[in-house]
A and B are shown apart, each in its own frame.
Chain A
Amino acid sequence: MTNFAICLEDVWLKYRVPEETIRSFKEFVIRRVRGTLGFKHFWALQGLNLEVAKGEVLGVVGRNGAGKTSLMKLISRVVRPTKGRVRVVGRVAPLLGLGAGFHDELTGRENIYLASAILGFSREDVSRRFERIVSFAELEDFIDRPLRTYSSGMRARLGFAVATDVPPDILILDEVLAVGDAPFQEKCKARIRQFRENGATVLVVSHHASTIQALCSRAILLDHGRLLFEGPVAETLRKYQDILAQPPMSAAAS
């Protein structure tokens, strides 16, 4: 079969952004009547070609607005490309959404079920894995308390434990490893290392050169929605430094 985990062929992604942020319907109607309602089409990704092999650990760098998040959204199926083709083999664990499915009034226990359901797991499946999730998050004593009493570290632990309990085929790390205290971070890193050893593909999105260097075998550099460079980590990071030194250009818009 295929030997890639992620394959993007000539991918274009268009955002439709209003020229000014209109947040009220009243304003929208007024502008529509006046005829001053305009939309900008913003190409977040422009003809991106990328192949990530199974088991590869790929770093993604680029300035703000370079298209890193758009790339992640395409891979996690949240958006579809405007043009081009995206293929993904396997289950994607979106670590960029840690704790997004939590509800403050619910207990930790109920939140585990809720967040898992959002990830598409069935209730009985979660019941079977429940104890393991709780013990990884080290929340045995707090599991029946409402989430609003949790500290932010505890929430992050719970989020990570739920999202990574079933080994994913593709893991997206988006600046999330700053969760919990140092021992817990070590635990997260160990778990990610274990996924890698078992052949999972990992995408690391980070501004920190050190994180990319420590984890990745290859890196890509995005700028203005285009793939500027693709290659060994050290070289990509050097190019990235060059770009950062340049004065920022205005956003590509048509």
Chain B
Amino acid sequence: MSGAFLYDSQQQRHPVIDAWVELGRFRDLLRMLVGLSLTVRYKRSLLGIAWTLLNPLLHMLVLSVAFSTLFGDRLPRYPVYVLAGLMVFEFFSQTTTFAVNQLTWGSALLGRVYVPAAVFPLSAVGTSLVQFGITCIPLLLIMLFLKNPFSWALLFLPLPVTLLAVLSLGFGLALAALALSFNDLVNMWGVLLRVWYFLTPVMYPESIIPPSARWILVANPLHHLLICIRDPIYLGRLPDPHHFVVSAVWSLVVGLVGWWYFSYRRFEFALQV
């Protein structure tokens, strides 16, 4: 590296933009962190990375055994319905909690080395995206086995999945930044996620929600995203456009707010350590 490289604190970009630009230079780190979190988590376990698959599959199996008869009339091919829903919700809950873990690990570095702090939450999103991709394989097999319709609507999926990633990132960034100051926030988030899970129609049909409580669904961004992702898979048709618009607005707003808040506090992280 040349000695001509000059850093001038007065000619620095705004932190919100700087965080984005600097990420380009640290692509390799981001890639590596994703690879690590996929392998390290299972490094000392018997089944290794197979856990990535087993976790949602076992979950789906239990729910299918328990609820197939209860919801079977309204929801034929129940395992497909549940697995698609679980994949969406797991993506969200895993990304947000993992973003906190990653930043906690990385925070030891932030006071010492110049690293764009956002790589840590971003690596959580990357990890979830890979896991989502892997889980698509058993989903496809189950769809084939249960003779689920396949349609061109599946090609639409990358769009809502991207929105899901942006929404999860926004929450993850804000949560990670807050969790560095407040230890108990992660526990509270865990409780909140549990409630959120039961309020989102992952394992039950939307129709069992009474009209008086429908506002809960309307206010829940994950519900709209869930429909955008599940409809093409389970029903083989494109979702109602209004769900897509609502999802997009939620994702962009949360994503931007999370990014803004996180990069604004980035220099505080370095001072705290």
Interface residues of A (CB under 8 A from B): 1-2, 15-16, 22-26, 28, 73-74, 76-81, 84-92, 94, 96-97, 100-101, 103, 105-106, 110, 113-114, 117-123, 166, 169
Contacts and interface: CB of A to CB of B under 8 A. Distances in A.
B8 A78 contact: no
Given A24-B183, A79-B270, A87-B9, A97 B4 contact: no
Interface of B: 1, 3-10, 12, 25-26, 28-29, 32, 36, 40, 43-44, 108-115, 178, 181-185, 188, 267-268, 270-271
A23 B9 contact: no
Given A26-B184, A79-B267, A79-B271, A86 B7 contact: yes
Given A24-B183, A80-B12, A94 B112 contact: yes
Contacts of B3: 89-90, 169
B36 A90 contact: no
* The 8 A-B residue pairs with the shortest CB-CB distance in the complex, in nearest-first order: A97-B112, A25-B182, A117-B29, A86-B9, A24-B184, A77-B114, A88-B7, A78-B270
A61 B137 CA distance: 61
A118 B8 contact: no
Contacts of B36: 103, 106, 110, 114
A24 B1 CA distance: 44
A16 B271 CA distance: 9
A106 B267 CA distance: 29
Contacts of A24: 182-184
B6 A100 contact: no
B75 to A, nearest CB: 39
A117 B26 contact: yes
A97 B109 contact: yes
A81 B109 contact: no
Given A118-B113, A120-B114, 6 more contacts: A23-B181, A23-B182, A78-B114, A78-B267, A84-B9, A117-B29
Contacts of B7: 77, 86-89
Q: Name the residue in B12, B181, B188 with the highest tally of chain A Cβ atoms < 10 Å from its Cβ.
A: B181
Contacts of A122: 28
Contacts of B185: 25
Nearest to B7: A88
A74 B7 CA distance: 11
